[in-house]
Structure 1
Amino acid sequence: MIKIAVRQIGPGRLTRGLESDGRVDWDAHRGLHPEPRMLESDRLIALAEAGRLCGRGGAGFPFARKLQAVVNSAVRRRKRTVVVVNGTEGEPGSAKDKVLLCRAPHLILDGAALAATALGAREIVLGVTDEDAAASVELAIQERELGERARVVRLPERFITGESGALVRGINGRRPIPPGRKGHASTRGVDGLPTLLSNAETYAQLAVLAGLGPDAYGRVGIPEEPGTVLLTVTGSARFPAVVETPAGAPLAHLLDLCGSRAGEGVLVGGYHGAWLTGDIATRTQVSRVSLQEAGGTLGAGIVMPLGRGTCPIGEVARVARYMAAESAGQCGPCRLGLPDVAGALSALAGGQDAADALERVRKAARMVVGRGACAHPDGVSRFVLTAMDVFESDAAEHVAHGGCGRPVLGVLPAETDAQLQLEVDWSRCDGHGLCADILRGIVRMDEYNYPVIPTEPIPAMLESDARRAVAMCPGLALRLVQRVPKEARK
């Protein structure tokens, strides 16, 4: 079971009954949430419109329009439909959907059942990556006696798994990466059928909206964005938590609740989101409109304040390396552009030709925008470029003095399951640079034209490239070794 605190600003709705760490079973759930009345498609669409319900997975697309698109496609093609719950939540800094899946699975299933009934869907499919989440949802399906009407599909835990096209591919038994050509699940999704795909919180919000009705649902929040918002607050927060708050609440209040200050900067929206300065963050509300006006985004509902004890450029460089490795690697911006961004950031963080590195960061990040097969390069570019603006003074310190004097504490999570690390035998290395050419963004050359080998493990998707670099090293100086976990080193 996921271990993160759940906090509330005002009465809880999605998080009602989650004050303890336990899972809400079927009987307890019905004591907390009345069974929603099933509706036909036109009435469910009207309900979603009246409640101004938007997707909570990142894009914020109006849920009523998604429903209508699936209805239109099903009628036009004379096909059955499928309802998909996206519970993958591939961002390392996010936990809100996992909390719902692990501890309130029936609220998600209530919303999915509403949609499935309205659409006459063939089945409900829940795509998850977390083992505990999968077990909780499978138990909920048994408790509700749904039988073959609902199933859980376990997928690899990677950042891009949650992209809609990748998720559909994974459910269809293919490699879960974004497809080369853009398409819409509402037209052709699971098994080629019209598919309603939204994330776990969205379906939970639909269940709450149906239970309360639009008027009661809108008694909290703001007129443009009624209801509550579920956020994951991590980063430098002393008390990281999943927080349910009314839309429109001050972001500063949220940070105070989790024992944090805005500091030098706050990341909003996750690793496809944007950085805000501390001053701007404290004047911003938790809403899509307010965050957008401030230059940020609500995105996947992630808030990460960065304290003054860690090096911001080093933290951003760690995440950039992680994001470059987490791409599908099937188009130029991901195969070449993102590694270039990560390599330039690593050089800037290490103070190597920092002035040139800073310019290369900005140039490489701008070059990938709008050119990828999916939105991954665009999101990483926004994350990096806004960081360069917010932490401009820190970047200047790296340019002027080779660093800012602060350690990189790893405050921004960038976990990997990789188990192999590169090592170099310096008595053999002649600085040919083939390793840096093959592992762009992972290995870089220093001012003496010798490779700088990362201390982090090699991402799993780059292991084949790392083995090729080892095999092609003219001096036989490189080798791959098994990573020693931090616990063992201690």
Structure 2
Amino acid sequence: MIAVRHIGPPRLTAGLEGAGRLDWDAHRRLHPEPAPLTCEGLVALAEEGRLHGRGGAAFPFARKVRAVAGSAARRRGRAVVVVNGTEGEPGSAKDKVLLRRAPHLVLDGAALAATALGAGEIVLGVADEGSAASLESAVAERGLAARARVVRLPERFITGEGGALVRGINGRRPIPPGRKVRAATRGVGGRPTLLSNAETYAQLAVLAGLGPRRYAGVGTPAEPGTVLLTVTGSARFPAVVETPAGAPLGHLLDLCGARAGEGVLVGGYHGAWITGEAAVRAGVSRAGLAAAGGTLGAGIVMPLGRGTCPLGECARVARYLAAESAGQCGPCRLGLPDIAGALAALAEGRDTGAAADTVRRAVRMAAGRGACSHPDGTGRFVLSALEVFAADVARHAAEGGCGRPVRGVLPAETAARLRLEVDWSRCDGHGLCADILRGLVRMDEYNYPVIPDEPIPARLEGDARRAVAACPGLALRLVPRS
């Protein structure tokens, strides 16, 4: 499990210096049980503490509570409280640390919200076995089995999207719904649902325990309290770090043995790249990172270092994001593979004269048209890379590359099992494979297919089998991923 560090006195990470899990007794020695609150009291607490969601969107928690309470009153039904612990971002571990090692802190916040709302159920959605086992033990330790349940969901990037999570808990395929449905209005079982991620509920528990005045003893006036970050990438000492809001990002990078280098990704794969110089000066807060051109997002910090090809790393991530989409709308099914293919061409020194413009055009075509925010988040990641690594883009265009290997500093693993392979002695360049697998396979200047080395996205395996069957020369085959 990733190391846990802190700057200043720990709050969320109190007692996590070792590698163990805090059981019920150990938790209560560190965190007194929060006093029950009415719904009005919970709203007032969240407003005074300026509590915002910590899953990426940073939505004000008090507004969510009000919306759920209003829907429950209008419909005369009991609400549901959902903890989103799926954490599908490959570079994020902060919620897993809380769920595996401090599960009772998360449950304190969830139980506080459930009591205030008069909710009939607490649902804990997770995607990994370690978090599920820890939470099930915590539910048993607290005697909450009649009121709380753990739901295990697939470990995919899009599983954590709010609509996808609700669908999964409801027993349906966990993908974003085709139209926006507010969980506060109609969520789990069709009931009004308060949905926030694990850190948000843990922050609520700390806020209730300290009170707004003491909670604001660290942080900034606009963003009181601490921030939980996952620092990975090229860091020599990757860690989940708790720090007061507003602390210098450069300090965190030093703590984790990381150099800012040419660029630092902040906010995760739906976040944005900022230059190394901007990263060193930036403060760790929503406002501080926005001023530097980034976003706090899911609390992910990934310095790239100087020993790997930036465009090659970004091309790997773009292909991963294309593979992880639900594939249910045009911007995801066609737009994201186009973006990934164009970025790969630029990184590999192919079609360099127009590749960067092709990437930008593909992003514009996908922007604002998806069934969820996945295309927009991917576009933000790619466009910020072109801007921050502009010198590298120019070098690839002029020289066909930068001379650096792609070391895989940014995690980009998928659940894909198969990859395509071509017998070039049989291939006649008919192009049927490129027609069937648009965006994944393309034809080169000699009218032969360019086959990706990466595994085929699981959702495209059916199309890949059709392409194999349709190949007139019997040149195409599917083989297990290496």
Which TM-score tier does this pair reach, normalised by the shorter chain?
over 0.9
2:310 maps to 1:312: yes
Letter in 2 for 1:63: F
Match of 2:75 in 1: 77
* Pick aligned residue for 1:218 from 206, 213, 216: 216
Q: Which amino acid aligns with 2:368?
A: G
Q: Counterpart in 2 of 1:372?
A: 370
**Structure 2 equivalent of residue 125 of structure 1:** 123
Q: Which position in structure 1 is the counterpart of 2:234?
A: 236
2:7 touches 2:243 (CA, 8 Å); kept in 1?
yes
Specify the alignment match of 1:16 in structure 2: 14
Correspondence 1:422-437 to 2 at 5 A? 422-437=420-435
Deviations 1:256-312 (A, max 9, x none): 111011100000000000000111111110000111122111000000011111111
Equivalent position SS for 1:225: coil
The farther-off stretch of 463-472 and 198-207 is: 463-472
* CA–CA separation in structure 1 for the residues paired with 2:12 and 2:440: 41
TM, length-normalised to structure 2: 0.99
Confirm or deny that 1:465 pairs with 2:463. yes
- Shift of residue 418, structure 1, vs aligned partner: 1.7
* CA offset digits 1:81-112 (Å, max 9, x no partner): 00000000001010000111111100000000
Determine if contact 2:324/2:414 at 8 Å carries over to the other structure. no
Q: Can you list the C-alpha shifts for 1:305-335, whole angstroms capped at 9, x where unaligned?
A: 1111111111111000010111111111111
Displacement of 1:471: 1.2
> Equivalent of 1:32, from 24, 30, 33?
30
Unaligned 5+ runs, structure 2:
none
The answer (yes or no) to whether the contact 1:352–1:447 under 8 Å persists in 2 is no
- Number of the residue aligned with 2:202: 204
Deviations 1:31-72, CA, capped at 9 Å, x for gaps: 111111111100011000010000000000000000011011
Displacement, 1:470? 1.0
User: Equivalents in 2 of 1:434, 1:293: separation in Å?
Assistant: 48
What is residue 255 of structure 1 aligned with on the other side? Answer: 253
Structure-1 residue corresponding to 2:441: 443
Range 241-250 or range 288-297, more displaced:
288-297
Which amino acid is 1:239 matched to? F
Alignment equivalent of 1:161, drawn from 159, 162, 171: 159
Q: How many pairs are equivalent?
A: 482
Within 5 Å, give how 1:275-294 maps onto structure 2. 275-294=273-292
Alignment equivalent of 1:403, drawn from 401, 406, 409 = 401
- Cα distance, 1:245 vs. partner? 0.4
Q: In 2, Cα distance between the equivalents of 1:440 and 1:354?
A: 20
Deviation at 1:241, TM superposition (A): 0.6
Secondary structure (helix, strand or coil) at the match of 1:148 reads coil
Counting only pairs closer than 5 Å after superposition, residues 164-183 of structure 1 correspond to structure 2 as 164-183=162-181
Cα distance in 1, alignment partners of residues 257 and 108 from structure 2 = 34
Q: Is the 8 A contact 2:230 2:240 kept in 1?
A: yes
Q: CA deviation at 1:469?
A: 1.4
Deviation of 1:417 (Å): 2.1
Identity across the alignment (%): 79
How far is 1:17 from its partner? 0.6
Alignment correspondent of 2:89? 91
Once the two structures are TM-superposed, the CA of residue 443 in structure 1 deviates from its matched residue by 2.3
Instruction: For 1:348, give the aligned amino acid.
Output: L
* 1:465 positional shift: 1.6
Once residues 275 and 139 of structure 1 are traced to their aligned partners in structure 2, the CA distance between those partners, rounded to angstroms, is 39
RMSD between aligned residues = 0.9
- Partners of 1:344 and 1:441 within 8 A in 2: no
